[in-house]
Structure 1
Amino acid sequence: MSDPVMLTDEDESLSSIVGRLATETKSLATAEVAVYKAKFGETASAYKSAAMFFAVAGVLALAALIALLVGAILTLATLVGPGWSTVIVVVAVLALAGILAMIGKSKLQTKSEPVS
């Protein structure tokens, strides 16, 4: 049987190598987590900025739609009176909303049906 290898001061012991490996692994994991946090932070801030612009665009589009509907009511008011023009525009908008809702419902039903 061979003699065990004698370690000199220049050689590291197995326990110190394992200890150093554990420390470096922990440091690597911490650095990786920091990198992913930084990437997520950049992505989240970009999405937050885009979401704010979409929200403002949605509010402005809604304001434009309301202005368009008021204009339609005022235009029809000269022909049939303000009450009837309001009724006509509201019924037309509700009919359009109903049609769009039925189209959306049919699209959901076709997606959820199992394929034969």
Structure 2
Amino acid sequence: MNMVGSKAKKRVVLPSRPDPPNVAQVLEDIQRAAPFDPVFTLLDDTTQDARGQCGDTEVESRYQQSRLYLDLNERLQEVKGQLARQREELRTSGERLDHDVSEVKRGLML
């Protein structure tokens, strides 16, 4: 049977995508790269063009800001945990206080 207008296409099977490199492989690749590797030179040029002569002080300042942000975020997480514990302690104390007050009221009625 001949179908008019349809073409018989062979389906091409593509190879599966390789797994991405792990951290060790990426670090090894970076360490083996030459200091003047075009990729690093290109990246350095584009970041300098975009920022307009990025100096060491600006890089250091951004690093310090990032470090401060991470430190503050870690501290906030610690304080969050402390507040949760204190809230639970207050709830428990409140329940104990309610119980003690009801005990005192019962004692006065007798």
| Larger relative contact order (Cα-Cα within 8 Å, sequence gap ≥ 6) | 1
What is the TM-score of this pair, normalised by structure 1?
0.47
Higher helix share: 1
What is the TM-score of this pair, normalised by structure 2?
0.50
